[in-house]
Amino acid sequence: MTLAARERPSMKCPHCQRPLFVRGNRIEARRGRGGQLYCSDLCVESAERAASRPTRRCDFCGGGLGLIVHRYYRMRFCCEAHLQAYCRRLTEETRAKIRRLAAS
């Protein structure tokens, strides 16, 4: 990838946040499957492995899930309060759809 000196952004590896190596007008980097530039093959592999792992997040707040997970059909919540807040927010029509999908 060639960039003019005045156009050269201060690019960092999205995985380890180290600056990408620039030699002359070229950025020396490895490209991942998504098109992002990484500083090394190790960072490419680590980032792609991390992206393929399923995330354990609360469906209400997006926070991480702990050892205790509260479930409502296929959704997961970090605490009982978030589960109750989600259920209060649902309309009766949406509740009927969820029950119909759970039965199939």
* Per-residue pLDDT at 77: 94
CA–CA separation, 90 and 39 (whole Å): 46
**Claim to verify: residue 74 and residue 29 sit in the same structural domain:** no
Residue type for position 72? Y
Comparing 42 with 52, the larger pLDDT belongs to 42
**Claim to verify: residue 39 and residue 58 sit in the same structural domain:** no
The number of distinct structural domains making up the chain is 2
pTM higher than the cut 0.75: no
**Claim to verify: residue 71 and residue 36 sit in the same structural domain:** no
**Claim to verify: residue 30 and residue 61 sit in the same structural domain:** no
**Claim to verify: residue 44 and residue 73 sit in the same structural domain:** no
CA–CA separation, 23 and 64 (whole Å): 41
State the pLDDT confidence band at 103, using cuts at 50, 70 and 90. Answer: confident
* Per-residue pLDDT at 80: 94
* Per-residue pLDDT at 7: 47
* Per-residue pLDDT at 70: 94
Looking at every residue in the chain, the average pLDDT score rounds to 82
Residue 84 CB coordination number (10 Å): 14
What is the extent of the structural domain holding 12?
5-52
* Structure token digits, residue 52: 């393929």
Identify the three-state secondary structure at position 87.
helix
Half-sphere exposure of 11 (CA within 13 A, CB side): 18
* Structure token digits, residue 15: 């995985």
Helix (H) or strand (E) holding 93: helix 92-103
